Structure formats: C-alpha cells, structure tokens
Amino acid sequence: MTLGMRKAVPSDIVPLCGLMTELSGHHMSAEGMLDRLRFVEKSPADSLFVCEEDGRVLGAMAFRIRENIEEVSRFGEVSVMVVFPEARRRGVGRFMMRHAEKLARELGCIGTWLVSGFGREEPAHHFYKRLGYETTGYRFVKLFGETSDRH
C-alpha cells in the first residue's frame, strides 16, 4: 500500500461529502463541501488534505495553525480527521496524523493537538492515545442563536 497526501481540490467533492457525512452523521451536500473548500482556500491558517492510494481517496484531514498567547507558541491543530470505514485499520489515520505532525514541525510549532467529541472514545480516542496524545482538558462551547446553514 502506497499512501499519499495532497491538498483537496474541487474534483474531490464526492468522496469529501462521504467522509464529512461519515464524520458528522449528517448529510453533506456538494454545495456545502464546495463552500468549505472555498473557505479553506481563503484562509491563511487552514488547509484540507486528502489521503489517497492509487488515486482513490481514503480519508481527509484538516489542519490549521493555532497561536497561543499564554505560552507565546504555535501548535498545529488537526481540526478534521476521518477515514472511510473500509480503509480503517490499514494505517491511513496514522499516516495522516504523521503528516500533520510533520507540517507542524516544518511551520515551527511546538506540538500538535486536536479536539474529539464525546462518544468517540472507542476507537478514536484510543487511537490518539496510542499515538502519544493526552487528554488535557475540555472544550466549552456556547452557540449564539441559530447556526449558519451547514448544508
């Protein structure tokens, strides 16, 4: 198996819709995914990558730089990590996480971090722990009114 990582492009919309639906449990439309690709394209801090094998998309990873004023440091944040079910347990997730860690090092970050929701303890949280990630806290969220249309 020869895996590769590259930035996502509009021709990846169909598999990306499937991956985002897999991650969220909610249908992702092609229009919604195109909006996300446009968002990433305009963002100075965000990137969206696909992991592929022989031209077939197996997973996706979003990466961003987070600056931390408390420590005056930078971290690489994995903001999306998802692999198609049929490609799991083949090293795809590990390959994508190593790519994120390599990017973070190249960009002068002191480490990487990610947020993973409750209910993903098995197998996602165990996977991250096996890669050396530690639970360091909680994320608290307050939404203001109706959220934007997420397609």
Q: What is the pLDDT of residue 120?
A: 65
Beta strands in the chain (DSSP E): 3-7, 46-53, 56-68, 73-83, 111-114
Q: What is the pLDDT of residue 15?
A: 98
Res. 119: pLDDT tops 90? no
pLDDT tens readout for residues 40-95: 999 999 999 999 999 999 999 999 999 989 889 999 999 999 999 999 999 999 99
Domains belonging to the chain, first-starting first, are 3-130 (3.40.630.30)
Torsion, CA 106, CA 10, CA 36, CA 126, rounded to 10? -60
The DSSP letter of residue 145 is S
Q: What is the pTM of this model?
A: 0.85
User: Could you tell me which of 25, 51, 50 has the C-alpha nearest to residue 36?
Assistant: 50
149 SS3 class: coil
Q: What is the pLDDT of residue 145?
A: 83
Q: What is the percent of the chain with per-residue pLDDT over 90, rounded to a whole number?
A: 70
